[in-house]
Amino acid sequence: MSKDDCQRLSGIPAASDSASRKIRIFCVEQNPLLRDGISYAVNGQSDLEVVGEATSAEEATAAYSGLRPDLTLIDLNLPGLGGVGTIRSIRKNFPTAKFLLLTTYADDLLSQDVSAVSVEGYLSKHILRTDLLPAIRTISDGGRVVPFEIAAQLSSLMGVRMLTAREIEILRLVDQNKTRASIATSLAISEEIVAAHIRNILQRLHATDAQHALTIARNRGHLEPQQR
C-alpha cells in the first residue's frame, strides 16, 4: 500500500488534542500492507492508537492478555483458528472483549459460522478508507457497525439450517476419502441415500462441491481442523 493510499485511508481529520484518553486498538490482520495502512491511519489520529499487531490466531491469543485493547480489528480469514475461532479463544478469558470483524467479501461470512459469536461490528476491507475510523469511534461510543451488504449476508446465514448428526457423520467419512459405496456399507444404507445426504449437505452449506463443503464444515466446527 502506497503512502498516498495510507493517507486516503485516514479519511477524516484528526480528533481534537483535548481528548483525555486514546482508544487502544489491536490489529490482527495477515496482510502486511493492509496492516501497515491501518496502523498509519489509526496512529494519525490524536484520539486513537494501535497498541499491538498480530498476523495469526496464535499470535493474537497470546498477545491479547498483555495488551487489553479497547477494540480488536480482526481478519475473518485469519490463519489458524480463523477470525471466529480466535474470538472464541480470547473470550474464554476476556468475555467483554470487543471486536470489529474485517472481511474481503461479504460472501465470506457464509464460509464461517459468524452467527456463533457476537461482535461489535463488521467491515469490508474494500471500504476501510472511508469507514474504518468512523466505525472505531462508533463502537467506542457503544454503537454497532453492520454495513448493508453485510447485514444482507448475515440474514441469509441465519436462515441456513444446521447439519444433522447423520450428515456430519457422512462428511467425516468423506473427509477420510471414503467412497459412496464404502460409506453406504459402513452406515448400512443405500448409495442413493448417501448421495441424497451429500446433496443436502452441499445445499445447506452453500458449497459447490465436496471439498468446498469440507472446508466450510471445518470452519464451522463440524470437523476437526485439517492437519498441516
**pLDDT tens readout for residues 121-166:** 999 998 888 999 999 999 999 888 888 777 766 655 654 556 788 9
Q: What is the CATH number of the domain that holds 142?
A: 3.40.50.2300
Q: Quick check: is 225 in a domain? A: no
Determine the average pLDDT of the residues in 215-227: 71
pLDDT at 183: 95
pLDDT-based confidence at 17, cuts 50/70/90? very low
pLDDT at 163: 77
Q: What is the CATH number of the domain that holds 202?
A: 1.10.10.10
Same domain, 39 and 128: yes
Q: What percent of the chain has pLDDT over 90?
A: 50
Same domain, 114 and 134: yes
pLDDT-based confidence at 207, cuts 50/70/90? confident
Same domain, 104 and 184: no
pLDDT at 219: 73
Residue 199 CA to residue 155 CA, distance in Å, equals: 23
pLDDT at 157: 61
Same domain, 194 and 135: no
How many domains in the chain?
A: 2
Q: Please answer whether residues 50 and 36 qualify as being in contact, where contact means their C-beta atoms are separated by less than 8 angstroms.
A: no
Q: Quick check: is 20 in a domain? A: yes
Parallel, antiparallel, or unpaired for β 99-103 and 23-28? unpaired
Q: Of 108, 137, 158, which closes a domain?
A: 158
Same domain, 95 and 172: no
Q: What percent of the chain has pLDDT over 70?
A: 79
Determine the average pLDDT of the residues in 212-219: 82
Break the chain down into helix, strand, coil percent, rounded to 5: 55, 10, 35
The boundaries of the domain holding residue 183 are: 165-219
Same domain, 100 and 152: yes
Same domain, 107 and 185: no
Determine the average pLDDT of the residues in 42-64: 96
Same domain, 34 and 16: yes
Q: Of 113, 140, 158, which closes a domain?
A: 158
User: Is the pTM for the entire model greater than 0.75?
Assistant: no
Return mean pLDDT, the chain: 83
Same domain, 36 and 93: yes
Q: Quick check: is 203 in a domain? A: yes
pLDDT at 13: 47
Asked if pLDDT for residue 105 goes beyond 50, the answer is yes
Same domain, 91 and 23: yes
Q: Quick check: is 224 in a domain? A: no
Helix (H) or strand (E) holding 30: none
Asked if pLDDT for residue 88 goes beyond 80, the answer is yes
Residue 87 CA to residue 118 CA, distance in Å, equals: 9
Q: Quick check: is 226 in a domain? A: no
Same domain, 114 and 175: no
